[in-house]
Every structure is written in C-alpha cells, then in structure tokens.
Structure 1
C-alpha cells in the first residue's frame, strides 16, 4: 500500500499549474489540456477537480492567495512573532519587504492575479474569492493603523490595502525597472500616514 503522505494534493497541484499557465500565457492560455500538460498528467486529469473553465480560474485564484499569504507571513514575520511592537519603523520595514517580495519572487503571482481580477468582474465565484481575501488582508492591516486612525481603522486599513495593491501592480505590470527600496519605504510611510523621521 502506498504511503498516503506522499500522494500530492491534486487540487493544490492543479491550482499551481493553472497559476503557472496564466502567469506565462495569460487567461487565453488556460485550458484543461494546458493544466494537465503542465502537471505532467494525462489529458482529462484536471476535469474531475475543475470541469469548467470557471473552476480552473477558481483553482488558480486559490493558489494565488495561498502564495500571497506565504509571502506576507515571511515579510511580516518580525512583527507577527512579537505582536506587541506596532511602531512605525517595523511596520514600514515589513510592508516594504512585502511589496519588494511581491515585485520580485511574487511577480508571476501578481501578474496572474491581475488577469484573474479582471475576470472576477464577470464570475461570481472569483469575485467572492477576491472579496474574502481582501477582507482578510484588511483585517491583517487594521491593527497596524489603529493608533493612526482610531476613529476608522477598518476604512483606513481598506484604503491602505488598496494603495499597497496598486503599488505592487505598478511594480509588476507597469514599471520598466522597479523603484528602489528607499523610495518604496517612503511611499509606504505616506500611505500609512506615518510622520517622517
């Protein structure tokens, strides 16, 4: 009998492969066949987990957010480990690390996510995934802005998430060369409303 701990999670595998296909060829490249080929599996393998194109999108989007959370966990590790330090310096350092990581190692994730965000305007399941995950990022950000905006920390966190998301999109989709770390840190300081030191 095979060791069940070594059997890959097919849903995750197909999500990773769908993300890979989108990041290299856009949504038009995403087909059931392309996902099966990327996974190195026989044609029709993904159909059990994602019988429709919409379900392929959902698998890819789930993987996008999974990988974004992994990057965020690493970037914010220093202040997550010691949750008591909510001073501007560590918040700025961690947020800058997150933007830089999403702009480099997470570039393909960001690009695929942008393509899926457009599609989410026409797909209720994708839109729900986007809303759920945006809400989670807002909740994650809210404790960092509470001292700056005690009257409206949730709305302030929502705006910060949107602006940071825009900065990541600028870094990955628009800019010929990325902005340097110091410029990003200064921009993030302004987004958070921290006074310059």
Structure 2
C-alpha cells in the first residue's frame, strides 16, 4: 500500500479488507475494524452503520485497489494499437502475477467477498457492478486485438483469470503460484485460440 496519507473512510475500508484476508468473514466486525485501524470506538459505525454497509464499503474500495494492481511500481505493457494478442497476454500476466504475489491479501479478501455476495443480494449487485468496469475494459481490449466476439471472449478470459486467482491463493496451487512467464504463456495460448491465430 502507498505511504501517502489516506482519508478515514479509506483507512476503514482498507482495514476491513485486511481483516477479511487475515480472519475471514467472521473476523470482520465494526469493533475489530476500529481496533485494527487504531480509531476511536464507533468510527466504523459512523461510516457504515450496518454490516451490509461495511461490506459494500469494502467492495467499493476493493475495486479501486484492484485497479491499481495494473499500475503498481512497474507499469504493465500497454495494449496499444498494434500490440496484438501478445501485448494483451503480457498485460494479463502482469496483473495476475501481482494479484497472486504482492497483492495476495487483497485477492484473498476478494474471494471472501465473492462468497458472501452469493448470500446477500444487495452485496451481489455492488460486487457485480464493480466487476463490470473490468469486463467492459477487457472487451474493449479484445476488440482492439481483433476479437469477433469480445463479450464471449471476455467471459472466457475472466473465467480463466478467476480460476488462476483461486487456485493460486486459496486452492491447491497456493504454495507455489505460477510465474509471470507461465501466466503469459497461458494467456497467449487462450488468446490465440480465441482469435484463430
């Protein structure tokens, strides 16, 4: 996380995400957030009165922080005109690798929130809305590299990415996440299959 000063709402949301990663859904309470963030008791309740509001706050902050995974210290290669499928594969590999290494706790928190969203329709709506921005961006990238079916191809690529994230952070592969080179090769194979080249 950046050393720049953050606002109290950001601190509360970041602390909620850290608690989700560390303790799971049961460990996330208003009081636990106050204590872990070093804030006066009641600070989290003032921002998010209910548990549902706290979870929504965490999902919204998660979307902001995951977007930053794409622009961490070493920017991923841009998918500019002419970069083609290999440029997109490199971008996906960089972001995925960061998500299963440097941003591993953030990914763990996301998995917790994704499961909770299956039980809370109001959270499902917020979670899906946050994910839609990424899907729309990916569809645009796929169009730029020649996809004739960008919506369907984006769904397939997202499913692969989600599988990599789960396997590498919570599944059987969590002890040894794939290297960026492995991820690039996998993304390149998928894209070439989709694009017919």
Same fold (TM over 0.5): yes
* Larger mean Cα displacement after TM superposition, 14-23 or 186-195: 186-195
* Superposition map of 1:108-119 within 5 A: 108-119=105-116
TM-score (norm: length of structure 2): 0.86
| Number of aligned residue pairs | 189
Candidates 48, 58, 69, aligned match of 2:56? 58
Matched, 1:40 2:63: no
* Larger mean Cα displacement after TM superposition, 24-33 or 67-76: 67-76
Q: Deviations over 1:101-141 (max 9, x none)?
A: 00011110111111111110122332112211221111111
Higher radius of gyration, 1 or 2: 1
1:184 deviates by 1.7
* Superposition map of 1:1-197 within 5 A: 8-74=6-72, 77-79=76-78, 83-146=80-143, 147-150=145-148, 152-174=149-171, 175=173, 176-193=175-192
1:149 deviates by 2.8
CA distance in 2, matches of 1:9, 1:123: 28
Higher relative contact order (CA 8 A, sep 6+): 2
CA distance in 1, matches of 2:178, 2:114: 24
Q: Over aligned residues, Cα RMSD in angstroms?
A: 2.3
1:77 deviates by 4.5
1:88 deviates by 2.1
1:89 deviates by 2.2
Helix, strand or coil at the partner of 1:57: helix
